C-alpha cells in the first residue's frame, strides 16, 4: 500500500548508495576496505547483518551477498547463531584462467614449472623421509603399470612429480605445482596419448624418471636437480615435436567438454 520510491523511507539517508555497477559489490568493497583499514581486527566479530544494513542504508540481502563475497575471498568466516568474524588468517588468492590451451600458453607454464620442479627435486634429495621415498618409487611403478595396461599414464605421471614435490617438505611447492597441474593436465594428456609417439617417448621418460629417483634416493641434491632439469627440457622438446597434433586435438574437444575445475567451496570433512 505504499508505492513510494523505495528510498523515501530514509528521512536521513545514512549513506546514499551511489548508483553504480553492483550494489552488493560496492558494499563488499567498502567492507573489505574497512577491514583492511583495521576497523575490526583479526578474529573480531563484525556488526550484525542488520546493523550493517542500517549503516550502509541497504537491506539485509545485500549485506549477506557482500559478506558472502568476503567469505569466499577468505576474508571473513561466518558461524550460524554467532556472527561473522574477520578471518584469523586472511588469504590472498592467485587465479588463472583456463582458456583453450594453445602451445604458447603451455610453454609459458612449463617455463615456470621447470625451475620449481628442479628445486623441488633438489630439496627432495636432501630432505625426503623413507616413506616419502617409498611413495615416489610406488608412483613410478604405477606409471609402468598404467602404460602396460594401455592407459595414458598421465595421472600417474603427475602423481610421480607430485610425490617428489611432497618429499621437498615445503607445502608451497605442492600448492603451486598442483595449481598449474590443473592447467597442464589436458595438454599433457593430449601429447601423451599420441599413439605414434608413445612408445619411443616412454622409454626416454622412464629413463629420465629413474635418474631423478636415483639421485633423490642417493641424497644427491645437485644430481637430482640436474636430472630434473634434463627431464623437463626433454619434456618441452617432446611437446614441441607434436604441436600440430596438439592443436588438432584441442580443437576437436572444444565443443563438448568444459575443462576446468574450481574449488569454489572447500572440501567437505565428511
Partner DNA sequence: ATTTAACATCTTGTCTGACAAATTTGGCGC
Partner DNA sequence: GCGCCAAATTTGTCAGACAAGATGTTAAAT
Three-state DSSP at 269 gives coil
Q: Do residues 237 and 200 touch, judged by C-beta distance below 8 A?
A: no
Reference 152, options 160, 143, 161; nearest CA is 143
Nearer to DNA, 3 or 99 (CB): 3
Q: Do residues 17 and 30 touch, judged by C-beta distance below 8 A?
A: no
Whole-angstrom Cα distance, residue 54 to residue 75? 22
Reference 146, options 255, 2, 138; nearest CA is 138
Cell of 231: 627431464
The answer to the question of residue 266 lying near a second copy (CB under 8 A) is: yes
Nearer to a second copy, 121 or 242 (CB): 121
Count CB-CB contacts under 10 A for residue 89. Answer: 7
Whole-angstrom Cα distance, residue 182 to residue 98? 9
* Angle, CA 158 vertex, CA 157 and CA 162 arms, to 5°: 120
Choose the contact partner of 3 out of DNA, a second copy, none; CB within 5 to 8 A by kind.
DNA
Nearer to a second copy, 140 or 225 (CB): 225
- The site for DNA, by CB under 7 A, has a size of 26
Per-position x/- string for 18-57, each x denoting binding to DNA as judged by CB under 7 A, each - no binding:
----xxx-----------------------xxx-------
Cell of 265: 567451496
The answer to the question of residue 264 lying near a second copy (CB under 8 A) is: yes
Cell of 261: 575445475
Q: Which residue has the cell 553504480?
A: 20
Contact stretch for a second copy (CB under 8 A) within 46-54, 134-142, 216-224, 259-267: 259-267
Closest CB 132 distance from a second copy, rounded Å? 17
Contact stretch for a second copy (CB under 8 A) within 128-136, 149-157, 194-202, 258-266: 258-266
Per-position x/- string for 231-270, each x denoting binding to DNA as judged by CB under 7 A, each - no binding:
--------------------------------x-------
Contact stretch for a second copy (CB under 8 A) within 11-19, 69-77, 144-152, 154-162: 69-77
49-68: buried (b, 16+ CB within 10 Å) or exposed (e) per residue?
beebbbebbbeeebbbbbbe
Closest CB 196 distance from a second copy, rounded Å? 28
Cell of 66: 557482500
Choose the contact partner of 11 out of DNA, a second copy, none; CB within 5 to 8 A by kind.
none
Nearer to DNA, 60 or 254 (CB): 60
Query: Out of 78, 105, 169, 194, which residue is the one contacting DNA (CB under 7 A)?
Result: 78
Contact stretch for a second copy (CB under 8 A) within 40-48, 148-156, 196-204, 213-221: 40-48
Contact stretch for a second copy (CB under 8 A) within 34-42, 139-147, 191-199, 207-215: 34-42
Count CB-CB contacts under 10 A for residue 224. Answer: 29
Count CB-CB contacts under 10 A for residue 97. Answer: 7
Q: Interface with DNA by CB under 7 A: which residues? A: 3, 6, 9, 17, 22-24, 48-50, 58-62, 64-65, 67, 78-84, 263
Amino acid at each position: 500500500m505504499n508505492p513510494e520510491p523505495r528510498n523515501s523511507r530514509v528521512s536521513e539517508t545514512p549513506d546514499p548508495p551511489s548508483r553504480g555497477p553492483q550494489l552488493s559489490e560496492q558494499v563488499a568493497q567498502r567492507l573489505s576496505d574497512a577491514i583492511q583499514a583495521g576497523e575490526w581486527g583479526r578474529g573480531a566479530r563484525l556488526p550484525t547483518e542488520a546493523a550493517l544494513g542500517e549503516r550502509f542504508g541497504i537491506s539485509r540481502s545485500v549485506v549477506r551477498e557482500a559478506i558472502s563475497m568476503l567469505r569466499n575471498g577468505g576474508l571473513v568466516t561466518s558461524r550460524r547463531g554467532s556472527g561473522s568474524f574477520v578471518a584469523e588468517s586472511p588469504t590472498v588468492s592467485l587465479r588463472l584462467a583456463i582458456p583453450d590451451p594453445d602451445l604458447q600458453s603451455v610453454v609459458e607454464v612449463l617455463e615456470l614449472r621447470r625451475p620449481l620442479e628442479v628445486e623441488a627435486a633438489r630439496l627432495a634429495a636432501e630432505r625426503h623421509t623413507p616413506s616419502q621415498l617409498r611413495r615416489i618409487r610406488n608412483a613410478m611403478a604405477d606409471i609402468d603399470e598404467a602404460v602396460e595396461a594401455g592407459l595414458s599414464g598421465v595421472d600417474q605421471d603427475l602423481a610421480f612429480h607430485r610425490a617428489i614435490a611432497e618429499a621437498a617438505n615445503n607445502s608451497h611447492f605442492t600448492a603451486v605445482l598442483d595449481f598449474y597441474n590443473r592447467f597442464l593436465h589436458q595438454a599433457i594428456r593430449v601429447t601423451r596419448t599420441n599413439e605414434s609417439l608413445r612408445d619411443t617417448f616412454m622409454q626416454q621418460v622412464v629413463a629420465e624418471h629413474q635418474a631423478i629417483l636415483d639421485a633423490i634416493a642417493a641424497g644427491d641434491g645437485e644430481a637430482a636437480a640436474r636430472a630434473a632439469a634434463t627431464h623437463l627440457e626433454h619434456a618441452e622438446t617432446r611437446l614441441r615435436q607434436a604441436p600440430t597434433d596438439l592443436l588438432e586435438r584441442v580443437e576437436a574437444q572444444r565443443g563438448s567438454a568444459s575443462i576446468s575445475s574450481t574449488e569454489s567451496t572447500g572440501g567437505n570433512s565428511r
